[in-house]
C-alpha cells in the first residue's frame, strides 16, 4: 500500500481513543502529525484529570533502564521535550530540567550496575558509573559509607511539568480537529472479530475502525467483558512535598538503595517510597495518601542517605495510581493478537509520562503506516502476555 492509498483509506476511518490524559492525547497528536485524515475521538470521563496518573505523577524522565526499548523511548521523549517550543510555539514551556537521575547501588551491585551502564551506553544513553568517592565529591551532602556504585546521565534525564505537557498535547490535538468527548467508555463492541464501536454509559455508541485503550490504571476494566485478562492493576504511590534547608541547586533525581527517591520541586523537594510488595494491593478508587510510609520507611531512609534531612517539614502529600503491568513491569503497546483493530497503550508501571511521546508516535505509525518506524516497539506487544514470555524490566521504581 502506498502512502497515498493509505491516506485515502484512512480519510474514512474512525479512531476512538479511550482515555484522554498523556498517553491518549499523545496518540491523537501524533496521528495528526503523521497526516492521519480520518475522524479521531478521545473519550475522557474526567476532563479535570484530577485523578489521572498523569496529573499526579512525579513527571521525571530517565534513560537508565534494563530493557533497550525503554531506553530508546526515553531518548525519544527527551528529544521531544527539548523540541517543545518548535512544536507548540515560543511560549510553550514544560519546565524541563535536564539534570540526571543519581541511582545508588550497594557493594554487591557494582558488577551488575557497571554492566548495565555499558548496555545503556551501547543503546545511546549518556550514562556513567561513579565510585562512592566520586559521588561524594560531586554531591557533598551524600552519605556514601554503604555504597558501591552510583550511576547518572549527563543528558536526557531530569524532570518536567506533566500538566503543562498534557495541556500542550491536548491543544495540539484539538487544534487539528481531534474531538474530546466527555463520557465513560462502558464497553467495547466487537462483531466478526473486530471492534465496531465504543459504548458510552448513559447511552450512545461511537463508531470505531480502531479502538485504542489508553485508560491507564483503568485499562483492564474496559476489556474484561471481552474476555481479555489484561495484567494491569492500579497501585497506589504516595508523594510527599517537603521543605528543608538542603541546597537544591545541582541536586539530581536521587534513587536510594532503600527504594526512596527525592528531587527538587518548586521551593522544596518531593519524595516517596514504594510500599512493600505484600502491602501493595489493587487500589482502584483509593486516593488517600499512605502517610505512615513517611515515618516508617521514607524518612529514616532519607536521613541515613542525606544526613541534612534529619530536619524536614512535610507540607503536603498526595497519592496517585501507577498502572502496574503485574506480568513484567513493562508497557503493553500494540494490537491485540486476535481483535486486530483493538490497540493497547498501557501498563507503563511508573514510566508512562516519559514514554508517552514515543508511544504516541509508535501507535500513530501502526495505524498510518501499518507498522513501527521510529522505534521498534514490537517487544512491548500483547503477544508476550498471551505466550507467557515476559520482558522483565529490572530497573523498576
Ligand atoms: C505518584 C506517581 C509518580 C509517577 N512518576 C512518574 C515519573 O516520574 N515519570 C513517568 O514517566 N511516569 C510516572 N508515573 C506514571 C505515569 O504517571 C503514568 O504512567 C502515566 O501518567 C500514564 O498515562 P495515561 O494517560 O496512560 O494514564 P492516566 O493519566 O491515568 O489517564 C487515563 C485516563 O483515562 C481516563 N479513563 C479511564 N477509564 C476510562 C473510561 N472507561 N472511559 C473514559 N475515560 C476513562 C481517566 O479518567 C484518565 O484521565 C507516576 C505515577 C504516579 C501515580
Residue 13 has pLDDT above 80, yes or no: yes
Residue 381 has pLDDT above 50, yes or no: yes
> pLDDT digits over 163-218, tens only?
999 999 999 999 999 999 999 999 999 999 999 999 999 999 999 999 999 999 99
Q: Closest ligand 1 atom, CA of 345? A: 26
List the beta bridge partners of residue 234: 323
Cell 511539568 sits on residue: 161
Residue 358 has pLDDT above 70, yes or no: yes
pLDDT interval class at 10 (50, 70, 90): low
pLDDT interval class at 1 (50, 70, 90): very low
C-alpha cell of 104? 545508588
Average pLDDT value for residue range 293-322: 96
- Give the span between the Cα atoms of 377 and 396, in whole angstroms: 19
Whole-number pLDDT of residue 12: 83
Residue 5 has pLDDT above 60, yes or no: no
Average pLDDT value for residue range 287-309: 97
Whole-number pLDDT of residue 7: 54
- pTM for this prediction: 0.97
Residue 2 has pLDDT above 50, yes or no: no
CATH code 3.50.50.60 region(s) in the chain: 3-58+162-231+327-387
Q: Closest ligand 1 atom, CA of 321? A: 53
CATH code 3.30.9.10 region(s) in the chain: 98-158+233-325
Closest C-alpha residue for ligand 1 atom 34: 19
A 10 A CB-CB count for 388 gives: 7
Q: Where are the alpha helices (DSSP H) in the chain?
A: 3-11, 22-33, 53-56, 68-82, 84-88, 110-122, 132-138, 162-174, 221-224, 292-293, 299-305, 356-369, 383-387
57 φ, ψ (degrees, to nearest 5): -85, 170
Rg of the chain (C-alpha set): 21
**54 Cα distance to chain centroid:** 8
List all residues whose CB is within 6 A of at least one atom of ligand 1: 18-24, 43-46, 49, 52-54, 56-60, 184-185, 214-218, 222, 237, 239, 320-323, 346, 348, 350-354
Residue 3 has pLDDT above 70, yes or no: no
Q: Closest ligand 1 atom, CA of 23? A: 25
Whole-number pLDDT of residue 384: 97
Higher per-residue confidence, 310 vs 47: 47
pLDDT interval class at 256 (50, 70, 90): very high
SS3 annotation, 262-321: EEEECCEEEEECCCCHHHCCECCCCCCCCCHHHHHHHHHHHHHHCHHHHCCEEEEEEEEE
Q: Closest ligand 1 atom, CA of 320? A: 53
Whole-number pLDDT of residue 394: 82
State the sign of the Cα–Cα–Cα–Cα dihedral 292, 302, 322, 394. Answer: negative
Q: Under CATH, what is the fold of the domain 98-158+233-325?
A: D-Amino Acid Oxidase; Chain A, domain 2 (3.30.9)
The answer to whether domain 3-58+162-231+327-387 has CATH 3.50.50.60 is yes
Phi-psi region of 329 (alpha: psi -120 to 50; beta: other; left: phi over 0): left
Average pLDDT value for residue range 253-265: 97
User: For the chain, what is the mean pLDDT?
Assistant: 96
C-alpha cell of 277? 510488595
C-alpha cell of 115? 554492566
* Most informative mutation of 17, 20, 21 for ligand 1 (most atoms within 8 A of CB): 21
Amino acid at each position: 500500500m502506498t502512502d497515498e492509498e493509505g491516506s485515502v483509506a484512512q480519510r474514512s476511518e474512525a479512531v476512538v481513543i479511550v482515555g484522554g490524559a498523556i498517553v491518549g492525547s499523545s496518540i491523537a497528536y501524533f496521528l495528526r502529525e503523521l497526516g492521519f485524515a480520518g475522524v479521531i475521538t478521545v473519550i475522557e470521563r474526567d476532563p479535570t484529570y484530577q485523578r489521572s496518573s498523569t496529573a499526579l505523577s512525579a513527571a521525571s524522565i530517565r534513560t537508565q533502564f534494563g530493557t533497550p526499548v525503554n531506553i530508546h523511548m526515553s531518548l525519544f521523549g527527551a528529544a521531544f521535550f527539548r523540541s517543545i517550543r518548535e512544536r507548540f510555539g515560543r511560549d510553550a514551556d514544560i519546565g524541563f530540567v535536564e539534570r540526571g537521575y543519581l541511582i545508588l547501588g550497594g557493594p554487591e551491585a557494582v558488577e551488575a550496575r557497571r554492566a548495565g551502564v555499558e548496555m545503556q551506553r551501547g543503546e545511546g544513553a549518556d550514562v556513567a558509573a561513579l565510585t562512592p568517592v566520586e559521588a561524594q565529591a560531586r554531591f557533598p551532602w551524600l552519605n556514601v559509607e554503604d555504597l558501591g556504585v552510583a550511576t547518572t546521565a549527563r543528558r536526557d534525564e531530569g524532570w518536567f511539568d506533566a500538566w503543562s505537557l498534557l495541556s500542550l498535547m491536548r491543544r495540539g490535538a484539538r487544534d487539528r480537529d481531534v474531538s474530546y468527548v466527555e463520557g465513560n467508555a462502558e464497553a467495547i463492541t466487537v462483531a466478526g472479530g473486530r471492534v465496531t464501536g465504543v459504548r458510552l454509559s448513559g447511552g450512545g455508541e461511537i463508531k470505531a475502525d480502531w479502538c485504542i485503550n489508553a485508560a491507564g490504571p483503568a485499562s483492564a476494566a474496559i476489556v474484561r467483558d471481552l474476555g481479555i485478562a489484561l495484567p494491569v492493576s492500579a497501585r497506589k504511590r504516595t508523594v510527599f512535598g517537603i521543605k528543608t534547608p538542603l541546597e537544591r541547586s545541582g541536586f539530581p533525581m536521587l534513587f536510594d538503595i532503600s527504594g526512596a527517591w527525592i528531587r527538587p520541586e518548586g521551593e522544596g523537594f518531593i519524595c516517596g517510597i514504594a510500599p512493600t510488595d505484600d502491602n501493595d494491593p489493587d487500589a482502584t478508587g483509593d486516593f488517600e495518601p499512605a502517610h505512615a510510609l513517611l515515618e516508617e520507611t521514607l524518612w529514616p531512609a532519607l536521613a541515613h542517605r542525606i544526613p541534612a534531612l534529619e530536619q524536614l517539614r512535610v507540607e503536603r502529600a498526595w497519592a496517585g495510581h501507577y498502572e502496574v503491568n503485574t506480568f513484567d513491569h513493562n508497557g503493553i503497546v500494540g494490537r491485540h493478537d486476535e481483535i486486530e483493530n483493538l490497540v493497547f497503550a498501557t501498563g507503563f508501571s511508573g514510566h508512562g509520562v516519559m514514554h508517552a511521546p514515543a508511544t504516541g508516535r509508535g501507535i500513530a505509525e501502526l495505524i498510518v503506516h501499518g507498522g513501527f518506524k521510529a522505534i521498534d516497539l514490537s517487544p512491548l506487544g500483547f503477544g508476550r502476555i498471551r505466550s507467557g514470555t515476559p520482558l522483565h524490566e529490572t530497573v523498576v521504581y
